[in-house]
Amino acid sequence: MAASEASTATSFRHAFGGVLSFFILILIGVLAFSIRLFSVIKYESVIHEFDPYFNYRVTQFLTKNGIYDFWNWFDDRTWYPLGRVIGGTVYPGLTLTAGTLWWILNSLNIPLSVETVCVFTAPIFSAFASWATYLLTKEVKGAGAGLTAAVLLAMVPSYISRSVAGSYDNEAVAIFALIFTFFLYIKTLNTGSLFYATLNALSYFYMVCSWGGYTFIINLIPMHALLCIVTGRYSSRLYIAYAPLVVLGTLLAALVPVVGFNAVMTSEHFASFLVFIIIHVVALVYYIKGILSPKMFKVAVTLVLSAGLIVCFAVVAILVALVASSPTKGWSGRSLSLLDPTYASKYIPIIASVSEHQPPTWPSYFMDINVLAFLVPAGIIACFLPLSDASSFVVLYIVTSVYFSGVMVRLMLVLAPAACIMSGIALSEAFDTLTRSIKFQLPGNSGGNSEANAGDASSASAGALNDVIKADKAEETAKERPSRKSKKKEREPVEKPQRNPRNERKLLVLPFEASIVGIILLVMLGAFYVVHCVWAAAEAYSAPSIVLTSHSHDGLHVFDDFREAYAWLSHNTEVDDKVASWWDYGYQTTAMANRTVIVDNNTWNNTHIATVGTAMSSPEKAAWEIFNSLDVKYVLVVFGGLVGYPSDDINKFLWMVRIGGGVFPHIKEPDYLRDGQYRIDSQATSTMLNCLMYKLSYYRFVETDGKAFDRVRRTEIGKKNFKLTHFEEVFTTHHWMVRIYKLKPPKNRLRGKAKKSKSKTSSASSSKRSGKRTRNPWQ
Amino acid sequence: MARSLILVALISLLPFLSASSPSLESPKGRRVLVLLDDLAIKSSHSLYFGSLQSRGYDLDFKLADDPKIGLQRYGQYLYDGLILFCPATERFGGSLDQAAILDFVDSGHDLIIAADANASDLIREVATECGVDFDEDPVAMVIDHIGYAVSDTEGDHTLIAADDFIDCSVILGNKKIEAPVLFQGIGHSLNPSNHLVLKVLAASPSAYSANPKSKLSNPPSLTGSAISLVSVMQARNNARVLITGSLSIFSNRLFRSSVQKAGSSTRHEKAGNEQFLTEISKWIFHERGHLKAVNVKHNKVGEADEPAIYRINDDLEYSIEIYEWSGGSWEPYVSDDVQVQFYMMSPYVLKTLSTDKKGVYSTSFKVPDVYGVFQFKVEYQRLGYSSLSLSKQIPVRPFRHNEYERFIPAAYPYYGAAFSMMAGFFLFTFVHLYNK
């Protein structure tokens, strides 16, 4: 009777806990969604930055033309004249997701525009991602840790920076897919269910559709499987979790056009196949061991080993020969620069030139994951108490992602979920211990009762039965190795009593005051994190980068120059005109101005980009010839010298020189540097002062303040008064941030030998556009 | 509605018409402004003016310093051609200046410039802008002690009988010019790298340019057949300019004069001037050698409509109609050297078009196995003809996903492997499950 009462109380408590967690999760979703709306509130509902504009354009095409046309889309408005096969070179996951959302909403008679759907895709998926984090952490350490991790992830600044409303990029859905795939892998590992294994493969397929970062999954999971095998944790659950993923996952991945045969051909996927072979060998060994007597087994082992080694050597030799025949050892450039952080800067300037491919600085860790950086070590320790298959996985996840984030600042995004999971585990364990200590010492609570409470409290957070089984199994595997068993026993006093009712050891109890102080400190830490996250979301990561604002003593200034320039292009140029600019602005030009561009942010053709870089680094006439051969009509440059916008073309110019010089050796970087220094003042080299980029950026700049002071470089420019012979300025935006030039047509007449004074020539040509030129002070 | 339709039709026709300036559609009644130093020239050169007027030109004679001269009014050009018979003018009257003349040419109008000894800087500079350099020495004239015209008085051999014509029937007409052309004036030179100007009448190898009245102290800067007596320039927009260093070459006196070249026994009753200048003025005013290309069409073989995009390895047909203005009507242009390029940074296909002699040129070829944005390019530049430069952009896409071959013979072993594997697995499962 008492027992049944207690069980109904427990089940009631469970039900209550379940409902509470459900509402907490809903609130977490709302939090994750709403904290990302600062950009819409502070600015407007627009697509941000560069790549999102391409994704937006692709989504528009998808919603207009349907999936088959999208799949076969050959885009002739970019990479002129090569064109780009969009369907075969794009990760379609994001586009298909947003397209499906739009289609569902429209068929429900909710007439949202495609743009609106695109803007809000990322916040929606960040809510999904926090729920997936909950599920994953719950599998590892129980529901309490799951909820904590979900809250942390909902507002981790690193993830916010990539998923604010309007940031319509692959990462927006890919992080969700990544976490969800990991969850399903852990779930399969814990349950050994083939159903979850299949789901896992499907989720992996979604991830492959969404982001090139899927290679992280297909390397991390084999690493974990290998770790389990090596540490003697092989089980049929591991086999079910791993083998179907590789087979189904690879088949499905090969269906994505952009991956195709890469799924079996490139070195990124090699690890999964190697581990696939190993796991089968191990499975076979276990099977044979089960059916043979120990003596027979020994004989069989020697036989198989000797034969197997020969075969292995042969296979390895062939593989090594195959891989070594490729110059990059079968790796793609981006992967190689991950393995060897100096690779890109040495060989592929186009990868190294992207700011998000640079290694992060220490402050950026604090900025992006804040207090989590300090909680992670505690979480790792908690994962070792005890080490299960699942917790070893998250440990592996955090270790690898810390390394990757140290190579590329962009991959901080992969670290963020791992850090959240670890910190969630750490915080949850800490709260567990502290609250239990308090409860234990509260007056009026008998020890036994509080122990039961503590057990309940922890089991409410730990997914009850599952974990018990898991812990048992962990113990069983541990028993097989006597050396590990002793270590295990040392830990048991700390960990086991909560989980295992059979072990009635004393719980770790802290002094009452220390617990109170600890809780207060932890809450303050959490509060600090929340404050920081809200600040980061509101101030640091919400700027859409096509509209800029600046605060000064006389109020808020809005710089809407980019859209002004693109609108000018779309209204004042012919539909088939080609616009040349550095590749950063390619996506925006095609999406916003609807004009053909030469190069864009999909940097697939290095030679083409180098051609544009060479043109920008050449003197005017050579540049004109290059552009003319590409049928370019307009050249667009971004110039920040007037308002102090630092990421303008002059600051990017050295990369243009490097990338151009990489293909066309007559462009030499030292020609643009004075004593190794990049400068545009009077000390600059004549090559620098005569190159097209300098001229297009600083043409007529002296008219603004009379002495041509560049606010970004904080210096007066070197050459102030000059004229353009092959280009003419057609548009400069309000704050001079975008300047558009038109290529002059070839001369209608060719002059005879120019022996007369030049003044007559200029007067002859100036009459055609006297309106603009008369303002020039030097005329 | 109808009006807007016409407008749309006109706009859509514009690309085809752009090669030929619109005024060419009705060359009759073309208005030509003639600027003179002295109205006496109107009568002393009346034969030449008469030949123009008889061909329907409406000549408007004005003194070069007339304050009411203006080439355009309200942004519209009042004239279609300009004849500058005013070598001594330093300044034009009215709004006309050097820049206005060059703008006139740059907007597709024709120009005839006659300089003379002591030509003004203004005229020289206009000529230089057109690619012709007169001898810098202001008093120099072309002298030829071997190729001079025999006259009653043994003069200073500045009256030259030149017969070194350009070999181009488009410019000079089909009828051979028998008699030498009498020339008296200054010579000019052309930059050999300038492909827009043509030497129509060159001096003989024995000619040189110097001051006939003074003794030659240092070697003349211009000698031999490098000296051009009459040159034409066809600008990139097909505006045509005639430049000569002699005003008297147009005069009635030389038109009527008989000519005998020194060292030659034949004496022609009439100098070649009239025929030469009449023919060349027909060319200058686009009565000859003006091409237009219309009806550029391309389609897949077996289809009539023009597609928006081709697929790699499509077979396509391309056709274009080229006509030449014959002075009164557009006649089919017949030639066997018109080529079309299928161009993406370099020509992937270069084919000579075959003609049906009625103006239609056509060919067919296979789209190369390369996708990208191609252009149909016709770049037709022949001596004397106006240049045709047409390009039409057309993208070429790769195969769609369902346009590949579905079953490849080479892959049958793999199909076999896959299906035998499936069958084997099924058998194995069956045996494994029910063999107990």
**Which residues does chain A have within 8 Å of residue B373's beta carbon, measured at their own beta carbons?**
76, 80-83, 596
Residue A467: what pLDDT? Answer: 41
DSSP, collapsed to helix, strand or coil, labels residue A695 as helix
The amino acid at residue B54 is: S
The answer to whether the CB of A126 falls within 8 A of the CB of A157 is: no
Closest CB to A752 among B102, B128, B393: B128
Closest CB to B106 among A76, A748, A754: A748
Nearest to B337 by CA among B391, B379, B286, B288: B379
Closest CB to A767 among B99, B239, B398: B99
A753/B133 touch (CB, cutoff 8 Å), yes or no: yes
Does B96 have pLDDT greater than 80?
Answer: yes
Nearest to A541 by CA among A29, A60, A171, A114: A171
A76/B373 touch (CB, cutoff 8 Å), yes or no: yes
Residue A761: what pLDDT? Answer: 40
DSSP, collapsed to helix, strand or coil, labels residue A691 as strand
Among chain B residues, the shortest Cα distance to A629 is held by: B345
Residues in chain B: 436
Residue A485: what pLDDT? Answer: 39
Residues on B contacting A at a C-beta cutoff of 8 Å: 98-100, 102-103, 105-106, 125, 127-133, 136, 190-191, 194-197, 233, 235-237, 239, 309, 344-345, 371-375, 393, 395, 397-398, 400-401
Does A469 have pLDDT greater than 70?
Answer: no
C-alpha span between A393 and A333 (Å, rounded):
27
Is this complex scored with an ipTM above 0.90? no
Q: How confident is the model at residue A482 (pLDDT cuts 50, 70, 90)?
A: very low
B136/A755 touch (CB, cutoff 8 Å), yes or no: yes
For chain A, the average pLDDT equals 83
Does A505 have pLDDT greater than 70?
Answer: no
Residue A154: what pLDDT? Answer: 93
Closest CB to B344 among A71, A81, A755: A81
Residue A159: what pLDDT? Answer: 93
Q: Where are the alpha helices (DSSP H) in A192-213?
A: 194-210
Among chain A residues, the shortest Cα distance to B395 is held by: A76
Q: What percent of chain B has pLDDT over 90?
A: 33
Of A330 and A368, more confident: A368
Does B26 have pLDDT greater than 70?
Answer: no
Closest CB to B128 among A83, A629, A756: A756
The answer to whether the CB of B216 falls within 8 A of the CB of B276 is: no
**Which residues does chain B have within 8 Å of residue A750's beta carbon, measured at their own beta carbons?**
131, 191, 194-197
Of A151 and A370, more confident: A151
Of A508 and A85, more confident: A85
Residue A385: what pLDDT? Answer: 83
Does A475 have pLDDT greater than 60?
Answer: no
Buried b (16+ CB within 10 A) or exposed e, A87-122: bbebbbbbbbbbbebbeeeeeeeeeeebbebbbbbb
Highest mean pLDDT among A282-286, A305-309, A511-515, A740-744: A740-744
Distance of residue B373 Cα from the nearest chain A Cα, in angstroms? 5
**Which residues does chain A have within 8 Å of residue B119's beta carbon, measured at their own beta carbons?**
none
B237/A748 touch (CB, cutoff 8 Å), yes or no: yes
pLDDT digits (tens, 9 = 90+) for A175-233: 999 999 999 999 999 999 999 999 999 999 999 999 988 999 999 999 999 999 999 88
Closest CB to A760 among B125, B133, B344: B125
Please give the full DSSP string across A316-373, using - where no structure is assigned. Answer: HHHHHHHHHHSTTTT--HHHHHHHSTTHHHHH-HHHHTSGGGSPPPHHHHHHHHTTHH
Residue B16: what pLDDT? Answer: 44
B131/A752 touch (CB, cutoff 8 Å), yes or no: yes
Residues on A contacting B at a C-beta cutoff of 8 Å: 68, 71-72, 74, 76, 80-83, 85, 576, 596, 629-630, 746-756, 760, 763-764, 767-768
Closest CB to B371 among A71, A74, A746: A74
For chain B, the average pLDDT equals 86
**Which residues does chain B have within 8 Å of residue A76's beta carbon, measured at their own beta carbons?**
309, 373, 395
Does B300 have pLDDT greater than 50?
Answer: yes
Burial of A763 (0-12, 13-18, 19+ CB in 10 A): middle
C-alpha span between A749 and B105 (Å, rounded):
9
Does A757 have pLDDT greater than 80?
Answer: no
Mean pLDDT score, A633-659: 90
Among chain B residues, the shortest Cα distance to A596 is held by: B373
The amino acid at residue B18 is: S
pLDDT digits (tens, 9 = 90+) for A667-697: 888 889 988 888 888 888 989 999 999 999 9
Distance of residue B372 Cα from the nearest chain A Cα, in angstroms? 4
**Which residues does chain A have within 8 Å of residue B196's beta carbon, measured at their own beta carbons?**
749-750
B236/A746 touch (CB, cutoff 8 Å), yes or no: yes
C-alpha span between A449 and A440 (Å, rounded):
9
Q: What percent of chain A has pLDDT over 70?
A: 86
Distance of residue A580 Cα from the nearest chain B Cα, in angstroms? 16
Among chain A residues, the shortest Cα distance to B372 is held by: A82
Mean pLDDT score, B34-42: 89
Mean pLDDT score, B276-300: 90
Closest CB to A83 among B99, B130, B373: B373
Residue A294: what pLDDT? Answer: 81
Of A334 and A362, more confident: A362
CB atoms within 10 A of CB A679: 17
Closest CB to B103 among A80, A756, A767: A767
A748/B103 touch (CB, cutoff 8 Å), yes or no: no
Mean pLDDT score, A709-725: 88
Among chain B residues, the shortest Cα distance to A749 is held by: B235
Residue A4: what pLDDT? Answer: 66
**Which residues does chain B have within 8 Å of residue A82's beta carbon, measured at their own beta carbons?**
344, 372-373
A85/B194 touch (CB, cutoff 8 Å), yes or no: no
